[in-house]
Structure formats: structure tokens, C-alpha cells
Structure 1
Amino acid sequence: MTITAAQRYSRGAIFFHWTIALLVIVNIILGLFHESLLKGLGVMPVHFAIGMTVLILSIGRWIWRLAHPAPPLPLGMAGWEKVASKLTHWAFYLLIVLMPLSGWMMMSGGRHPRAVSWFGLFNFPILPVDKVLAGGAHEFHEIFGYAMAALVIVHIAAALRHHFILRDSVLMRMMPGSGR
């Protein structure tokens, strides 16, 4: 399917989307399985570092989005689909910032406060949070981690539905190199 430049997301938006998507999926796997399948492998420092990378990239994505608006949705999309798309994207935008922030708060105010290391290269500072706030951040992080996993599954399923069942341009608008 060929699409015009006006129908596509910008290269920067595509970069941010796929980079953050890959990091979020890796972090969901590390977060869900660190105590079972990955026990003893010491994956949590990598989980923390990836989370902070997602936080930084997400801020960059928001800035990019302000200067580069999303292309309009295809005209044939139903109203409920447009609303679902907007709600899903806003939920992602919130979670990709709030999830790493809550993890950072957990690390900063837990039983043994410690700085979050970025792949051993440098540390993010300890945030001034108390144990109560850190505990709330832990609950948020866990509950919304599952919500993020569900949202990722729904998002992928919707993209595949658009591509293979509806055969519209929704997925191709975000695919690297398509339509150029």
C-alpha cells in the first residue's frame, strides 16, 4: 500500500515510536519475569536503566510531537475508532512517563534508598520521597505495569486489524521506510 507523505508520521516520530516500543516491551518482560524465569540473572539494574531511557525518550517524543503534529486519521475510520485511538495514545503518553517516574521514586524512597544507575555509566540522583510515597509509587508501578502490557497487546492487535482485515493505511503510516 502506498501512502503520501502527508499521511505518514515524521521520521522523528517513527524513531521515537519504535525505539520506545521496543524498550517498553523488553521492560515489561523483565518486570514480569524477573522473579521467576529470570531469577538470579540480575536483570533489575537493566530494567531500571531501560526505564530511565524510556523516560528521557518520552520527554523528547513529547517535544517532537509539539513541533510535528500527527497526520490526520484516515477519513473512513469510524468515530468510535478515532476516540479509541486518541484515548489509547494518551494512555501510552502518560504511562511511558509515569511508569519510569514511579520506578525512580520506588528506588529513592524504599527500605534501602539508592540511586538509579544508567547501565553503570552514571547515577540518577535519589529523589526526596518518603517511604509512604515510595510505597504508593510501588503499587502504581505494579498495577499500571499490567495495564501497560494490556495496552501494548491491544495496540498491536488494532494495528494488525487495520492492516490485515480493514486493509487501510493506519499501520503503514508508522512503518519505517514505507511509502517513500
Structure 2
Amino acid sequence: LEGNLADMHYYFGIAILALVAVRLVLRLKNGAPPPPPETSGAIELAGRISHWLFYVLLVVVPVTGLLGYYYGDPYGEWHTYAKPVFIGLIALHVAASLYHQFWRKDGLLTRMLKPE
């Protein structure tokens, strides 16, 4: 069972890396949607930074996982240390989505679920 889980982890990492490559090409080709109206510069900057940090992690984590698998440490350690960073960024993303939906009521969450 443990070998099967390790294999799944390996292949999911490769699949994530491939999907992120496609997503990055689309993002660079089409750009990002504009921020909701009346968004402050600080919130817009925080959104841009957090989204690009997601992209960086979604590339670096699978790459360090592969390097760790084939070459060992320090790549495996870097791969492991990324987990709490990812969890924190996901929590921030969820909190920001809820802030936009329930505090600002600017429709951002709806736009995320049904892009135009």
C-alpha cells in the first residue's frame, strides 16, 4: 500500500506540473481578469502577489519533489518545507475569497466559480 501511495504522489506531482504549465500559458496569453470595481491598490497588489506565489509553489514543489526523488536532500527537504507554506497560502486564499463575498460583496467568489 505504501508503495502505491508513493507512486500516486509521484504521478500526481507530474500531472500538477503539466496542468500548471498549461495554466501559465493561458494566463500569460489571456492575462488576468480585472479586479472588482473599487478595489484598493493594496488589496489588488496582495491578490497579484498571492496568485503569483501560488504559481511559483505549483512549479517549485513538484520540481523539488522530483529532484528529491532522484537526488535526495536538500531537494526532498525543500519539498517537505513547502507544505506549511502551501497550507498558509490556501488559508489566506479562502479567507480573502470569503472577505470579498461577505464583507465587500463584490461578486468575486461568484466570478471565480463562473468565469466570464
Select which of 43, 66, 70 maps to 1:108: 70
TM-score by length of 1: 0.59
Query: Equivalent residue for 1:149?
Result: 87
Q: Please say if 1:43 is aligned against 2:41.
A: no
Distance in 2 between residues matched to 1:40 and 1:102, nearest whole Å: 21
Query: Equivalent residue for 2:101?
Result: 163
Task: Give CA deviations for 1:62-106 in whole Å, capped at 9, x if unaligned.
Answer: 111122111111231122111110110110010001100000001
Query: Equivalent residue for 2:111?
Result: 173
Q: Please say if 1:97 is aligned against 2:59.
A: yes
Structure with more contact order per residue of length (Cα contacts < 8 Å, sep ≥ 6): 1
Q: Please say if 1:63 is aligned against 2:25.
A: yes
Deviates more, 1:42-51 or 1:158-167: 42-51
Distance in 1 between residues matched to 2:2 and 2:8, nearest whole Å: 13
Distance in 1 between residues matched to 2:3 and 2:67, nearest whole Å: 23
Q: What is the percent sequence identity of the aligned residues?
A: 30
- The within-5 A match list for 1:11-30 is none
Query: Letter of the aligned partner of 1:47 in structure 2?
Result: H
Structure 1 stretches lacking a partner, 5+ long: 1-38, 111-134
Q: Number of aligned pairs?
A: 116
Query: Equivalent residue for 2:47?
Result: 85
- The answer to whether the 8 A contact 2:20-2:55 is kept is yes
Aligned-CA RMSD value: 1.8
- The within-5 A match list for 1:130-141 is 135-141=73-79
Structure 2 stretches lacking a partner, 5+ long: none
**Structure richer in helix, relative to its length:** 2
Task: Give CA deviations for 1:1-54 in whole Å, capped at 9, x if unaligned.
Answer: xxxxxxxxxxxxxxxxxxxxxxxxxxxxxxxxxxxxxx8584222122111111
Deviates more, 1:89-98 or 1:75-84: 75-84
Query: Letter of the aligned partner of 1:157 in structure 2?
Result: A
- The answer to whether the 8 A contact 2:69-2:76 is kept is no
